[in-house]
């Protein structure tokens, strides 16, 4: 049985991520999607628990996918879940530069091999950060994320906008 680990921030999960997970689920017996809190990416929108729930709801059609959260090194997690490989998605050249270094470092320290999957052309521009930006200003992201994610984004930012409006009104 081959297991692959797909780590990321997934704040929130979007259709580019789903494509990678669906392809991995065809190639491997067991796919472990792991949501991490990445301090380099600044303030998080959703908690790890919320992100995990959104990933679970968005991949419910894939029986060989399981979800976990982590705050340790990716290579330690790979060992813990018994992963033979790590999979990463590539959108643009800048992804490749940082991912290649990480892949080689991870291989050096643990021997675990990283595989890269090119994103479909329709997903190359998708990034959680951009999706958060659009949703923050009330834009429509329903073509970029699973329905449950679009709903929660609208709720979360609607609530934040209301709070801001109330604070403004009180000034």
Q: Does 16 bind ligand ADP (CB under 6 A)?
A: yes
User: Is the Cα dihedral 123, 128, 132, 135 positive or negative?
Assistant: positive
Q: How would you classify the pairing of strands 65-70 and 30-36?
A: parallel
Choose one: 12-20, 21-29, 48-56, 149-157; the region binding ligand ADP (CB under 6 A). Answer: 12-20
108-137 residues labelled b (16+ CB within 10 A) or e (exposed): eeeebebeeeebeeebeebbbeebbeebee
DSSP 29: S
Choose one: 52-60, 89-97, 145-153, 160-168; the region binding ligand ADP (CB under 6 A). 89-97
Q: How many angstroms separate the CA atoms of 95 and 156, rounded? A: 29
Catalytic residue among 37, 66, 79, 91: 91
Binding mask 36-75 for ligand ADP (x = CB under 6 A): ----------------------------------------
Answer positive or negative: Cα dihedral of 20, 22, 23, 26.
positive
When asked if residue 123 is in the footprint of ligand ADP (CB under 6 A), the reply is yes
Residue from 62, 81, 102, 127 touching ligand ADP (CB under 6 A): that is 127
Number of residues counted as binding ligand ADP (CB under 6 A)? 16
What are the residue numbers of the active site? 17, 41, 91, 128
């Amino acid at each position: 049985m081959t297991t692959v680990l797909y780590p990321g921030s997934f704040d929130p999960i979007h259709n580019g991520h789903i494509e990678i997970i669906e392809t991995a689920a065809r190639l491997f017996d067991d796919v472990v999607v792991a949501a991490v809190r990445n301090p380099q990416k600044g303030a998080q929108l959703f908690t790890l628990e919320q992100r995990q729930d959104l990933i679970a709801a968005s991949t419910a059609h894939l029986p060989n996918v399981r979800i976990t959260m982590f705050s340790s090194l990716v290579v330690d997690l790979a060992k813990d879940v018994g992963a033979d490989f790590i999979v990463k998605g590539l959108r643009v050249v800048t992804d490749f530069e940082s991912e290649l270094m990480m892949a080689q470092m991870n291989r050096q320290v643990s021997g675990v091999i990283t595989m890269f999957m090119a994103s479909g052309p329709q997903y190359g521009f998708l990034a959680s950060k951009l999706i958060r930006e659009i949703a923050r200003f009330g834009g429509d992201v329903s073509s970029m994320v699973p329905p449950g994610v679009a709903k929660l984004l609208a709720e979360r930012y609607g609530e934040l906008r209301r709070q801001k409006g109330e604070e403004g009104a009180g000034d």
